[in-house]
Structure 1
């Protein structure tokens, strides 16, 4: 704006605009609002200043409005006073282009022909300092630029000194063409005082080129502190469409009155009883004519469709109830019109957000001619969810119980097999084909180990370590870990990441595990049909969710396989290439985070996995500080020869393997298959280190540790537990709190030697 506008003028203008204006902080606290809004809500400014904006807006509605550029129709709700409004919003930026505030503009729809009331008095005083005044003027100028009406300011001689953006657009003038011109170029009226003092009335406005249009003009004078007039303010509203609308409404009203008069006597006797019965039904009930156009809906249907009953009249079933991807032939109403028989269908509707039974029956007149339809929709979403939850919970409980037992029982024999393979592979006598066969055995044991580990993850019940996570950052780290493998397999990654996404509150390790599983799946799907391909990964905000999509151009999934794709042990891969646990584990992780995971696929056209996770309710402040790097693994040190080691394990073969392996490294090794005997040996022999099974029949890991603390505290620091029970969180908790080394069976002997060296060299 070229000429200066004082805060007094801007505030005065703000209060004269009929739109409701609200200025909030980024946190949603009200900083400023104009008098038309206060008058409409019948409250004082002090009642709302510094209050959260949700006090007058429903939170969901506000957030929805903030996400779209187009104006939204919602309802103000304050002290049981409801006002329908058309709402839009904009973000206010300071000189450094930093978001500072949010400006909300709402138009009162109760009386569209009524504009601003009487012009209020000028604001009393300029703000405390020039800096605050300048900031306020900037905000109010932005507000004027955003309002939907044409605002003009003239000096005392009625020469134009300011016009907002809407005014220039409406009157088709450039800024330089306006400034300095007399206000009379804008309109014609017989009232000479129309742009002097306080005035309101209808005028004939003139655009550039002399095009005329009807407008409602509201003017007022602006005075300084001593009461002297220093200029005038004018607000134009184009009422062309409003006049047309009024005419159309008047015609519609006349027509409606005629029809009502003709039918009132006939309907009055039975209407009340029928109306009460109709609206008391909880199902969504609608009555249609022979063209499938709605004649009547009950309150339940109108509420579900977020409309008034009259708004739904004349619309067809398909447009209201059926998803866009369904053809008209799949609509139950269409079937009834063709067959004239009752049709019942169960439909999973995205539009209605749930699963519903549709029951449509024909209505015949006295001549047995089809006269219309009665359409009843029953919401069975909760019932279906309960059925699905019960079925899935039963599956999960059974698999969890099975997995917990398998992991413990299978890990011991796997440890024995792996141990003997290690011994034989280190024997120079076994070469050639025998060594190859031993290597294959060792590899298959490792494969079985991974399967057992996946089972343990599936069965384990543990507390998530949640924190605020940037999903894009987590995805980039995941892709970085897989970059070599992706490049080697000729898989290209295409990223479609939305900027400035809010974070999510999740267990990062678990979500990364889901990402790994889905990337592995997409790679397998591509390589099953060709030797190269692409994966498109999208991360975007979808209302209050962050949506992540993994889309491949692989083989796709058969329709009959999709309902079972997240079931445990279900896999479409060849034998040996999949355990069927990856997607099941991923499903459980996402559900534990209150999210959703779905799949969309067509055979031969690729597959898309869609994950949705809730946006974090509190947005943390992230600095540029990177996560701390983990320390490099310590270099392997030479073994302390002649160190005395005690092995405690009730599995004799495991003890034999450990004795044989450790002696080859120069250790002195003793063993005990009995827990009590082991305690006696510890008291009588000076051991440098103890390797013990965590769960002995007569000696628990906790008891061994407590006994060491009591009798040989230093030896308690040289303790390694081994266990085949990977599902018990109490074991992990115990060793982590006491910084005790723990190896899960089956373990590699080299890993054991590395752990021994680490403890002995501390």
Structure 2
């Protein structure tokens, strides 16, 4: 209460006033003026003024505190409503005290209608057990709830000094997807490491088989009864080499023969290749290529592999229904690039399968009918082309696979001039730790008119090179004692002219460090197992340049 001595009086004209003080703060002043010439205010008036001023100050302070409390409550509500998890305060009897908008949206009730209602009546019956478990033991968690395509995490936290608890329901669907992608990435990394270890061991024997087969096929005196068996050996060796290349494409980046191209002719060739097969499955292909599509930059062989795989999958899905159908392949503009839709009227793909369809080794085909690598390899190829591969499907209404590819960068097309003539003959040193590869390389190169020496590793190669006179050095990369990489580095340091005559031949291109070295060296390389046509082309290019 305001003390009487704090009241101020004035005699002429009569006036009386007092400050409005609350909690040690002056909020204002109250004053009363009498009539001019009137009697001055007495002690009783002072007491009354002190009482009025004290009550008024308290009233003003309370009003100010109420406004602050209301503003704070509004800010708190706004903050809680801005939080994405559903938040609900549940008292000891199980009734809702307060909830945010996210919780109201989750249960499908207005925020204003939630207070006082039992939480059990608000949530789906399937949620009762995990939510009840969380509320019974706050801080221990209630686990996960799966509803339709979403995943929710349920937790509760006790309020100190109260029987109430704060219930938290958080949508963790995207978090779980990211975790699954991380696990999948780790799986792919492990598979890549496995392939890196196996590829070199597979490619070396395949190089020998394919090399000898090509060498014998070029022999003039091959008996007629061996022509067909030799052709089968070539085909099967090439088939095995293709499988290894597919694994390598899955395991690492494969630039291949990237160039500017129009997608229309690639699609036309693909449909032509599949025409007889589709006819046998009673599937009709319809190719629609819209005009004025921009050129893309890519590998025609890799893109054809993608188209073949997806169209073939669509045809097999239609054939599994027991009746014919149609596969529509449509190329259309997409942003500044091209999109290719492959649409079938087959049985469609179930939702749970769509979520896993691009996983490596996942297949819905019977045992021995598929490896489960096809679509994962396709996705890897499309990504390496800077694009995206997606699927949309409704069961019983077919499926649509869409390949989106960016337009080619504006650049001059590289001219790939073929070597003229048969090229000059030269003295060649072949370096490899595989005796069979050394044998067929010597036999082949000598049959082409070259002079050939061999070495089993880099140390032996250096000893040979001291004799001088070599026009070309074909070396493996991974070898005991001294590998091809170390051999090249020594030559570049000591005799740069010889380093400029090196051609690498390796089956180890899956390793990133190997590819980085090959690209950094700037030297041509042959990927084992290579056909003799590739070897001949490389020889012509290097020797003619020399």
Q: TM-score, normalised by structure 1?
A: 0.46
Asked if structure 1 preserves the Cα contact closer than 8 Å seen for 2:270 and 2:307, the reply is: no
Query: Is contact 1:474–1:512 with CA below 8 Å preserved after alignment?
Result: no
Unaligned runs of 5+ in 2: 1-72, 90-96, 115-121, 134-143, 156-166
Cα distance, 1:592–1:674 mapped onto 2, change above 3 Å: closer
* Partner of residue 298 from structure 1, selected from 100, 114, 117: 100
* Equivalent position to 1:520, from 278, 302, 309: 309
Asked if 2 retains the 8 angstrom alpha-carbon contact of 1:636 and 1:754, the reply is no
> How many Å separate the matches in 2 of 1:743 and 1:605?
47
Q: CA deviation at 1:297?
A: 6.1
Q: Following superposition of structure 1 onto structure 2, how do residues 650-729 of structure 1 map, counting pairs within 5 Å?
A: 650-709=433-492, 712-729=495-512
CA shift digits 1:236-270 (9 cap, x unpaired) = xxxxxxxxxxxxxxxxxxxxxxxxxxxxxxxxxxx
The yes-or-no answer on 1:566 pairing with 2:358 is yes
Alignment counterpart, residue 412 of structure 2, candidates 628, 631, 653: 628
Residue in 2 that maps onto 1:479 = 267
Aligned position for 2:421: 637
Asked if the contact 1:332–1:345 (Cα under 8 Å) also holds between the matched residues in 2, the reply is no
Alignment of 1:282-681 (within 5 A): 283-284=85-86, 298-301=100-103, 309=111, 333=124, 346-349=146-149, 355-356=151-152, 378-428=170-220, 430-432=222-224, 434-460=226-252, 475-476=263-264, 478-479=266-267, 482=270, 484-485=272-273, 492-493=285-286, 495=288, 508-509=297-298, 513=302, 516-526=305-315, 529=319, 533-537=326-330, 549-554=341-346, 556-557=348-349, 561-572=353-364, 579-588=371-380, 597-601=389-393, 605-610=397-402, 628-635=412-419, 637-638=421-422, 640-641=424-425, 643-681=426-464
Asked if 1:756 corresponds to 2:539, the answer is yes
* CA root-mean-square deviation: 5.3
User: 1: CA distance between counterparts of 2:88 and 2:293?
Assistant: 45
Alignment deviations for residues 439-466 of structure 1 (CA, whole Å, 9 cap, x no partner): 2221121122122112222222689999
Distance (whole Å) between structure 1 residues aligned to residue 348 and residue 453 of structure 2 = 57
Q: Distance in 2 between matches of 1:697 and 1:480?
A: 48
Structure with larger Rg: 2
Structure 1 residue 386: Cα displacement:
3.9
CA drift of 1:385 comes to 1.9
Task: Identify if the C-alpha distance between structure 1 residues 661 and 334 changes in structure 2 by more than 3 Å, giving closer, same or farther.
Answer: same
Q: How far has the Cα of 1:734 moved from its partner?
A: 3.7
Correspondence for 1:743:
526
Deviation at 1:514, TM superposition (A): 6.5
More helix per residue: 1 or 2? 2
- Native 8 Å contact 1:412 1:746 kept in 2: yes
* Deviation digits for residues 103-143 of structure 1 (CA, Å, limit 9, x no counterpart): xxxxxxxxxxxxxxxxxxxxxxxxxxxxxxxxxxxxxxxxx
* Aligned position for 1:146: none
Q: Is the 8 A contact 1:332 1:358 kept in 2?
A: no
- Deviations 1:79-124 (Å, cap 9, x if unpaired)? xxxxxxxxxxxxxxxxxxxxxxxxxxxxxxxxxxxxxxxxxxxxxx
* Superposition map of 1:22-421 within 5 A: 283-284=85-86, 298-301=100-103, 309=111, 333=124, 346-349=146-149, 355-356=151-152, 378-421=170-213
Q: In 2, are the aligned partners of 1:639 and 1:665 still within 8 Å (CA)?
A: no
Deviations 1:253-306 (A, max 9, x none): xxxxxxxxxxxxxxxxxx99x98999699643699xxxxxxx996233468899
- Shift, 1:731, TM fit: 3.7
Relative to structure 1, is the Cα distance of residues 755 and 385 closer, same or farther in structure 2, using a 3 angstrom cutoff?
A: same
Report the Cα offset of residue 651 of structure 1: 0.9
Structure-2 separation of matches of 1:696 and 1:566: 37
Shift of 1:481: 5.4
Please tell me whether the aligned partners of residues 325 and 345 of structure 2 are also in contact (alpha carbons under 8 angstroms).
Answer: no
**TM-score between the two structures when normalised by the length of structure 2:** 0.62
The answer to whether the 8 A contact 2:267-2:307 is kept is: no
- Aligned positions, number: 427
* Structure 1 residue 655 displacement after superposition: 0.4
Quote how far apart the aligned CAs of 1:649 are: 0.7
Displacement of 1:436: 1.9
Shift of the alpha carbon at 1:694? 1.9
Q: Work out whether residues 400 and 459 of structure 1, in 8 Å CA contact, stay in contact via their aligned partners in 2.
A: yes
User: Structure 1 residues 684, 388: CA separation in 2 closer, same or farther (over 3 Å shift)?
Assistant: same
- Matched residue of 2:508: which SS? coil
How far is the alpha carbon of 1:511 from its aligned partner?
11
Query: Is contact 2:306–2:378 with CA below 8 Å preserved after alignment?
Result: yes
Partners of 1:296 and 1:514 lie apart in 2 by: 58
Q: d(CA) in 1 for partners of 2:415 and 2:273?
A: 25
- How many angstroms apart in 2 are the aligned matches of 1:513 and 1:307? 53
Deviation (angstroms), 1:571? 3.7
Conserved? CA contact 2:287–2:329, under 8 Å:
yes
Alpha-carbon shift at residue 390 of structure 1 (Å): 3.6
How many Å separate the matches in 1 of 2:147 and 2:299? 34
Match of 1:671, SS state, is strand
Q: Per the alignment, in what secondary structure is the counterpart of residue 530 of structure 2?
A: coil
Task: Provide the rounded CA distance (Å) in 1 between the counterparts of 2:332 and 2:153.
Answer: 35
